[in-house]
């Protein structure tokens, strides 16, 4: 059911590469379809959005105004939840807010001896767009994870789009939007929603950045509008990699692997361990527990296609392999994980110790669950407050500073053959 590998196998590197490789680029047919949708929205605005909403979601409306989900409707969804759900959403929101407040950056400056002031101004985005999957594939936790950092950053307006196929509305998603204090919600989705956020229409405001997950059409649309607006990332399938020393309950490890495998058939779940007996125990627990899982067919396919139990020489080799993979979620299910965490070079989120299940990070630990996938943890970070701010450099030269710096600048400018640059700087210097 699940692939079993050993680092001592002569073909291990090739086997691992085959297992972990993932092409996040879309095919040409999808690219062309998405481009047409985007072009239509640019040309025809609200009308195109309405037409595509009817075509893809079977939702008819005579105007975009009919597709606005009011704040009163969001509150109604929250009020209608049972008390346990209300409490869970509120606790998660409070913890996410508290964590992300620690990420806030302040503007700064310093004054040089000659009076010249240099610094950096941190400025929140004016407007951000949040894409939220709708219908049955709905994730209220993602609403909180994407919206709250934006609010902490000081974004003036947060616009959410969520499809409602056949009029199906996910009440938990709307309740999460209420808790996250989202300003404006439209019942639209797909590439047309991304295009509307990127370029604006008569009714839908243009945003500065689009965040949030979606299907291949949404991901392709985000890629195509990048440059017109900012985007968070192009996400691939969910991933978990567990490094275990064999001293964690094998039931726990099996279920941790399931927690990512159940996302979809392309999700990846990998266990690295130097203890063959423990790997055998986990395999046995996988076989025993799987029939009881609601999403067992998806889990089975995921584990068969992209899952693995990997025997390593020792924990250090497991760390080395993990750094090569650069996983989205990394569990260090070992005794004293603090002794090895500094060796981790690439991971979206690191869960330390046997009690730190990845699921805690997905929902309520407070850290963000929007993480780099497909090895992009080599150069990318989790979504955070910093994704909703930008920075402007501050330069205020004094007379003395302009005199000193102007001569340096002019020398370099003349060297580059840019006379106007040089003279612009020299005009503000003392004439010898």
Interhelix angle 171-179/71-79, nearest 10 degrees: 110
> Do the Cβ atoms of 340 and 322 come closer than 8 Å?
no
Q: Percentages helix, strand, coil for the chain, rounded to the nearest 5?
A: 50, 15, 35
> Which one of the listed residues 329, 331, 346, 358 is annotated catalytic?
329
Paired tokens of 65 = 């105004």
Active-site hit among 239, 328, 331, 358: 328
Q: Report whether 214 contacts 56 (CB < 8 A).
A: no
To the nearest 10°, the Cα dihedral for 378, 381, 386, 390? 30
HSE (CB half, 13 Å, CA atoms) of 217? 17
Burial state string for 344-371 with b = 16 or more CB within 10 A and e = fewer than 16: bebbbbbbbebebbbbebbbbbbbbbbb
Gap between the Cα atoms of 211 and 382, Å rounded: 12
328 in active site: yes
Q: Are 236 and 374 in contact (CB under 8 A)?
A: yes
H/E stretch holding 129 reads: strand 127-131
Terminal CA-CA length for the chain:
82
Residue 74 neighbours by CB distance under 10 Å: 23
**Neighbouring C-beta atoms of residue 409, cutoff 10 Å:** 18
Residue 204 near residue 101, CB atoms below 8 Å: no
What are the CA-CA distances from residue 190 to residues 5, 34, 53, 57, 159 (Å)?
39, 9, 8, 9, 15
Which residues are catalytically annotated? Answer: 328-329
């Amino acid at each position: 059911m699940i692939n079993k590998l050993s680092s001592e196998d002569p073909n291990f590197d090739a086997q691992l590469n085959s297992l972990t490789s993932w092409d996040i680029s879309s095919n040409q047919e999808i690219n062309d379809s998405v481009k047409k949708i985007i072009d239509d929205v640019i040309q025809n605005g609200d009308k195109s959005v309405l037409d595509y909403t009817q075509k893809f979601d079977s939702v008819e409306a005579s105007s975009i105004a009919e597709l606005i989900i009011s704040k009163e409707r969001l509150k109604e969804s929250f009020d209608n939840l049972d008390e346990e759900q209300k409490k869970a959403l509120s606790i998660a929101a409070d913890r996410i807010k508290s964590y992300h407040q620690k990420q806030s950056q302040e503007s700064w400056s310093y004054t040089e001896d000659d009076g010249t002031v240099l610094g950096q101004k941190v400025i929140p985005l004016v407007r951000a767009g949040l894409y939220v999957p709708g219908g049955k594939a709905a994730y209220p936790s993602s609403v909180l994870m994407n919206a709250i950092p934006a609010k902490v950053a000081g974004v003036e307006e947060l616009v959410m789009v969520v499809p409602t196929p056949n009029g199906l509305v996910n009440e938990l998603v709307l309740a999460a939007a209420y808790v996250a204090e989202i300003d404006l919600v439209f019942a639209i989705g797909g590439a047309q929603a991304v295009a509307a956020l990127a370029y604006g229409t008569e009714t839908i405001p243009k945003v500065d950045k689009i965040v949030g997950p979606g299907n291949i059409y949404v991901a392709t649309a985000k890629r195509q509008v990048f440059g017109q607006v900012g985007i968070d990332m192009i996400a691939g399938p969910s991933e978990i990699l567990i490094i275990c020393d064999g001293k964690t309950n094998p039931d726990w490890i099996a279920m941790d692997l399931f927690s990512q495998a159940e996302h979809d058939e392309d999700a990846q779940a990998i266990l690295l361990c130097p203890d063959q007996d423990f790997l055998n125990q986990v395999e046995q627990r996988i076989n025993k527990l799987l029939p009881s899982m609601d999403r067992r067919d998806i889990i089975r396919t995921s584990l068969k296609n992209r899952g693995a139990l990997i025997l390593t020489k020792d924990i250090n080799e497991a760390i080395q392999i993990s750094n090569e993979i650069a996983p989205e979620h990394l569990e260090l299910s070992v005794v004293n994980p603090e002794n090895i965490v500094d060796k981790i070079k690439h991971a979206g989120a690191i869960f330390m110790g046997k009690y730190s299940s990845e699921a805690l990070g997905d929902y309520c630990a407070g850290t963000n669950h929007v993480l780099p996938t497909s090895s992009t943890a080599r150069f990318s970070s989790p979504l955070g407050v910093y994704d909703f701010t930008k920075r402007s450099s501050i330069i205020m030269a004094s007379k003395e500073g302009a005199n000193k710096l102007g001569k340096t600048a002019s020398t370099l400018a003349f060297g580059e053959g840019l006379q106007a640059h040089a003279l612009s700087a020299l005009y503000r210097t003392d004439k010898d």
